[in-house]
Amino acid sequence: MALVVHKYGGSSVADAEKILNVARRIGAVKDGGADIVAVASAMGDTTDDLIDLARTVSPEPDPRELDLLLSTGELVSCALLTMALRRLGYDAITLSGFQAGIHTDTMYGKARIHRIDPARVRSELAEGKVVIVAGFQGITDDLDITTLGRGGSDTTAVALAAALEAERCDIYTDVDGIYTADPRVAPQARKLAEVGYEEMLELASYGAKMHPRSIELGAAYQVPIYVASSFGDAPGTLIHQVAEMEGMENRVKVTGIAYQANVAKITVRSVPDRPGVAAALFEPLAAVGISVDTIVQNTSVERATDISFTVARSDLPRAIREVETGLAALGAAEVVSDPTLASVSVVGSGMQNTPGYASRMFRILAEGGINIDMITTSEIRISCIIREEQVADAVRLLHRGFQLDEEE
């Protein structure tokens, strides 16, 4: 029997009416003869509310305890979704992360899935049940509850689809697909019917509303991921392996413009220029699970250098503390930071081996009066760090400048 995995985001299960709507959608799949596993996020802003609640008792809540706290959000939404399904006459059951066999490492707040033991999911499916799995959470080998980080429910869904060898993983959310840019910022943005894993990874890493790790997982296990709205039936975007030839023909231009707000930059001044400095700087950050994005270093003649890098703004206070700890052994380096930055990225597999995209991007930004603070590139992406207040302008200018505004 065909098996599909659905994932419903927080806005899709934000209240009783929306939960019943999702239950009807899931029921329709079951009625159509397929087995279905659905992953749900916490209702609406529950996760943020729980974080706020934690801060009322402690300015820096213990990560293990915070994960236990946050994991309750998905238990609530999933239990309600299962109740709604049962009310509609479907046999359904909720499995928490540990009941669904989602085993992770111990990096609280950003845990990675080690393995999935889908025995319980399979046995419930075999009994004809709809299986609702709490997203975003897992369990360590010591039976401690972890969470997978923001958007981790996408990762749960794709990982389950891979473990269960599902036909497809559908991600239902409050947007109806992947656009050439955020439509709220660039009203001229167009929806993509399909996109390759690599491009989607860059788009997701730089602002599109999907968890990058879910795309990585999809690519690694070749799980087609379909992103669509839970509120209607408009066609969404299929993320899958785009055939090479097709890609070369269709993708001679930019796929989309991504952006990311809430970027903070840390600069360490006058770092001695000798081997091991970068390791001493970044190892402590990695050890506490802080993701570092753009890194820029330019060594001058005086055998000392400045190193700049960006982190999520929410990680800034911890990052500064770790950097200062790590640098104590290296001499009196000064640490300065800027919390009000953003990144804007041009993404497209058509850019590969094609000169001129970077200079064109810089020209468009310059003509818009937008100063570039840092630059980073990948095979299929060029990103610039700019002032946060200019990021919406930058997205619109780049979307128009790379001819994404026009009809296909």
Calpha distance 215→31 (Å, rounded): 29
Residue 98: Cβ within 10 Å count? 20
Question: Any bridge partners for residue 256, and if so which?
Answer: 347
Applying CB under 8 A, which residues contact a copy of itself? 15-16, 19-20, 23, 50, 53-54, 56-59, 61-62, 64-66, 68-69, 71-72, 75-76, 78-84, 86-87, 93-94, 96, 98-99, 120, 143-145
Q: Which is nearer to a copy of itself, 16 or 328 (CB)?
A: 16
Q: How far is CA 268 from CA 1, 127, 264, 297, 394, in A?
A: 57, 59, 13, 10, 28
Rounded to a whole number of angstroms, the minimum distance from the CB of residue 61 to a copy of itself is 5
Q: Which is nearer to a copy of itself, 78 or 277 (CB)?
A: 78
Rounded to a whole number of angstroms, the minimum distance from the CB of residue 53 to a copy of itself is 7
Q: Which is nearer to a copy of itself, 77 or 155 (CB)?
A: 77
Q: Which is nearer to a copy of itself, 16 or 220 (CB)?
A: 16
Rounded to a whole number of angstroms, the minimum distance from the CB of residue 78 to a copy of itself is 8
**From the centroid of its chain, how far is CA 277?**
30
Q: Which is nearer to a copy of itself, 96 or 214 (CB)?
A: 96
Q: Which is nearer to a copy of itself, 56 or 353 (CB)?
A: 56
Q: Which is nearer to a copy of itself, 98 or 179 (CB)?
A: 98
Sheet holding 102-104, edge to edge: 113-116, 102-104, 137-139, 145-147
Rounded to a whole number of angstroms, the minimum distance from the CB of residue 75 to a copy of itself is 5
Q: Which is nearer to a copy of itself, 20 or 125 (CB)?
A: 20
Q: Which is nearer to a copy of itself, 54 or 320 (CB)?
A: 54
Rounded to a whole number of angstroms, the minimum distance from the CB of residue 67 to a copy of itself is 9
Rounded to a whole number of angstroms, the minimum distance from the CB of residue 232 to a copy of itself is 21
Rounded to a whole number of angstroms, the minimum distance from the CB of residue 203 to a copy of itself is 34
Q: Which is nearer to a copy of itself, 132 or 166 (CB)?
A: 132
Ramachandran bin of 89, using left for φ above 0, alpha for ψ from -120 to 50, beta for the remaining angles? left
For tokens 């640098």, what's the residue?
327
Rounded to a whole number of angstroms, the minimum distance from the CB of residue 7 to a copy of itself is 19
Rounded to a whole number of angstroms, the minimum distance from the CB of residue 64 to a copy of itself is 7
Q: Which residues contact 302 (CB under 8 A, 6 or more apart)?
A: none
Which sign, positive or negative, has the C-alpha torsion 137, 140, 145, 149? negative
Rounded to a whole number of angstroms, the minimum distance from the CB of residue 104 to a copy of itself is 15
